[in-house]
Amino acid sequence: MEAKALLAGRRAREECDSDVIERFEEACENAGAVQAEMLRRILVANHGTEYLCRWLGDVEVEGMDAGALESLYRSHVPLASHADFEPFIQRIADGDTSPVLTREPIQLLSLSSGTTDGRQKYVPFTRHSSQTTLQIFRIAAAYRSRVYPIGEGGRILEFIYSSKQSKTKGGLTAGTATTHYYSSEEFKIKQEKTNSFTCSPEEVISSGDHKQSTYCHLLLGLYFADRIEFITSTFAYSIVQAFRAFEDHWREICGDIRAGGLSPRITVEKTRQAVLGIVSPNPSLARRLEAACEELERKDWCGVIPKLWPKAKYVYSIMTGSMQHYLTKLRHYAGGLPLVSADYGSTESWIGVNVDPSLPLERVTFVVVPTFSYFEFIPLHRQKNRSSRKNGEAIDDDFVEDEPVSLSQVKVGQEYEIVLTTLTGLYRYRLGDVVEVAGFHKGTPKLNFICRRKLILTVNIDKNTEKDLQLVVERGSQLLRKAMGELVDFTSHADVSKPPGHYVIYWEIKGEVEEKVLGECCREMDASFEDHGYVVSRKCNSIGPLELCIVETGTFRKILDHFIGNGAALSQFKTPRCTSNQVLLSILNGCAIKRFYSTAYG
């Protein structure tokens, strides 16, 4: 009877997954028409709002043909940045209940992490935001299940975290998008009605202390070790951070499992009670885990994930963009377990889903979901030596652009900036992400994420993006690894406080490395920048020697604590790869222990 029930459950799941995939692929097949209808739906829902009336006047949109409405919209409503919407969003935050951006009153505001440009921004969050999060979870899970089927009763070790919420002047709740989602009905549906669910209760996710939450995630993940099907977090960084913590606390966690108790380090009462309501004494599991951990510790924790979670099929997280640095350490922990890239989105909207989870990370693409938002794409063409500065800030970049095109008009191999129109009240919103079209899935494009458009390192005519910086740091860290050192984390700064300006790259490293080797790392990075403007500037000394600043152990945790203290969630956090934030620079320079200057052009 039990075998028949399991078989029936598996068949039901497969049928459900097939239905999800069939509906998604039908939308992709007719992506152009679906997009036109999506725009019509947005404009009908928000017709008469102050922002749209400014550009469309009293045009009656409800009766218009979807194609004609699309043409009208794109010819009358201008492209806009977050700065254009900020005054409207601030009015909503301050209590303006008139139809400013949406006809339906906005009750929640998401906070961006602030790691990209140094300050958090408000973004409207509605029920549609939670619904699309649940939908992309279902679509992605259906495709993953084809490659990595999940067993009945399987669980997820999911390192997810809510952050603190606050009230705006007008009484709206503000917090991260993930925090809003974890408290939504959609997340409850995901937990209760899908085949696999996180092993941590809501009280752990929302403890408010990311260190205590991480400890409990690890404890419960090990308590259910034989039922964990995969390990995940929003960003790869969070998984790496969790296992760094595990290296320090594994004996204490095993002791909790043996006794069915909980470490006194967990002081949040609701979290303590929730965990103690789940665990019970399991001495045999504790002995098995301790023996495994003693062996793993001798191997520097290589392969810890498959060793402790024998049924885990893969590790799942966002691993592109600024997360690429953590892949070396994540592969170390994962052993031979597959790393599967999670989906592509932003605080403003989900964008694309990974429909081929078997592909290696280097080849992953994201299929645009045409039912989430209305998408446009600005064609970009790289042009050298166009950068200039004003008051120390870059005011141009190395792209020239053409008129935006629709989703169905993009071309394979072309780079674009994404433009969003959303049900949450953003209209022709420039996201700032640069993507390349890698191909098509049915009628909708497959995207490679390239970089954020904003230049992060520039002194005068030099232009280097986050991707450029990552390639340079990788070249330098290769020398570090040969010397048995490990690059824990990094960031950078264009120091123009006195002429000539120069780049500073901050490294936190693990292991004893000779100063001679670190000097070679500095020189290698300086010589690895390929941007013509940088090379010319270095040769004529209009940019000074690159500076490598080694910071003490724990420096980047202090940066994490700073962001979380300002409302970011650990599951949302991304180390800023370049910063001009004076608070962060104060932390970095205050923790500096060694400085090296390049001789590459000496």
Q: Report pLDDT digits (tens) over 443-462.
A: 899 998 887 777 678 777 77
Using alpha carbons, select from 349, 296, 337, 339 the residue that is nearest to residue 136.
349
| Amino acid (1-letter code) at residue 49 | T
**Helices (runs of H) and strands (runs of E) counted in the chain:** 20, 24
Contact 222, 243 (CB under 8 A): no
Query: Which backbone phi and psi does 98 adopt, to 5 degrees?
Result: -70, 160
Q: How far apart are CA 177 and CA 179, in angstroms?
A: 5
Contact 304, 218 (CB under 8 A): no
φ/ψ region of 459 (left if φ > 0, alpha if ψ in -120 to 50, else beta) reads: alpha
Residue 17 has pLDDT above 80, yes or no: no
Contact 346, 431 (CB under 8 A): yes
Segment 401-435, tens digit of pLDDT:
889 999 989 999 999 999 999 988 999 999 988 88
Looking at per-residue confidence, does 455 or 321 come out higher?
A: 321
pLDDT score recorded for residue 192 = 62
Segment 457-488, tens digit of pLDDT:
877 777 787 778 888 898 998 899 888 888 99
Which tokens belong to 320? Answer: 């592109």
Residue 319 has pLDDT above 70, yes or no: yes
Q: Per residue in 166-175, is it b (16+ CB within 10 Å) or e — as a string?
A: eebeeebebb
Confidence of residue 250 (pLDDT cuts 50, 70, 90): very high
Query: Which backbone phi and psi does 386 adopt, to 5 degrees?
Result: -110, 0
Among 114-118, 218-222, 370-374, 553-557, the least confident range: 114-118
Q: Classify residue 464 by its DSSP letter.
A: B
Contact 200, 217 (CB under 8 A): yes
Residue 195 has pLDDT above 50, yes or no: no
pLDDT score recorded for residue 459 = 76
Q: How far apart are CA 475 and CA 66, in angstroms?
A: 51
| Amino acid (1-letter code) at residue 499 | P
CA distances (Å), origin 388, targets 156, 395, 530: 49, 6, 18
Q: Which residue has the tokens 């259906």?
A: 142
Which tokens belong to 65? Answer: 């043909």
pLDDT score recorded for residue 571 = 62
| Amino acid (1-letter code) at residue 29 | E
Interior CA angle at 212 toward 206 and 216, to 5°?
A: 85
Q: How far apart are CA 539 and CA 151, in angstroms?
A: 61
Contact 180, 125 (CB under 8 A): yes
Query: Which backbone phi and psi does 318 adopt, to 5 degrees?
Result: -70, 120
Confidence of residue 542 (pLDDT cuts 50, 70, 90): confident
CA-CA-CA-CA torsion sign (543, 548, 552, 553): positive
Question: In 94-176, which ranges are continuous DSSP H helix?
Answer: 127-147
Q: How far apart are CA 554 and CA 570, in angstroms?
A: 16
pLDDT score recorded for residue 8 = 45
Contact 546, 502 (CB under 8 A): yes
Residue 366 has pLDDT above 60, yes or no: yes
| Amino acid (1-letter code) at residue 434 | V
Residue 5 has pLDDT above 50, yes or no: no
Contact 584, 576 (CB under 8 A): yes
Residue 178's contacts (CB-CB under 8 Å, 6 or more residues apart) are 160, 161, 162, 163, 234, 569, 571, 572
Segment 271-289, tens digit of pLDDT:
999 999 999 999 999 999 9
Q: How far apart are CA 469 and CA 456, in angstroms?
A: 9
Q: How far apart are CA 602 and CA 109, in angstroms?
A: 52
Contact 143, 355 (CB under 8 A): yes
Using alpha carbons, select from 573, 582, 590, 594 the residue that is nearest to residue 115.
573
Q: How far apart are CA 546 and CA 523, in angstroms?
A: 8
Which tokens belong to 442? Answer: 């049915």
Q: How far apart are CA 84 and CA 92, in angstroms?
A: 14
| Amino acid (1-letter code) at residue 207 | S
3-class SS of residue 262 = coil
Answer whether 0.85 is exceeded by the pTM.
Answer: no
How many residues appear in the chain?
602
Q: How far apart are CA 80 and CA 487, in angstroms?
A: 39
pLDDT score recorded for residue 137 = 86
Q: How far apart are CA 143 and CA 22, in angstroms?
A: 11
CA distances (Å), origin 589, targets 119, 247, 506, 549: 20, 28, 9, 8
pLDDT score recorded for residue 467 = 79
Other beta carbons within 10 Å of 460: 18
Contact 353, 140 (CB under 8 A): yes
Burial class (CB in 10 A: 0-12, 13-18, 19+), 245: middle
- Give me the mean pLDDT over the 569-578 stretch: 73
Among 37-41, 75-79, 149-153, 557-561, the least confident range: 149-153
Looking at per-residue confidence, does 279 or 191 come out higher?
A: 279
Q: How far apart are CA 260 and CA 278, in angstroms?
A: 9
Residue 246 has pLDDT above 80, yes or no: yes
Q: How far apart are CA 468 and CA 342, in angstroms?
A: 23
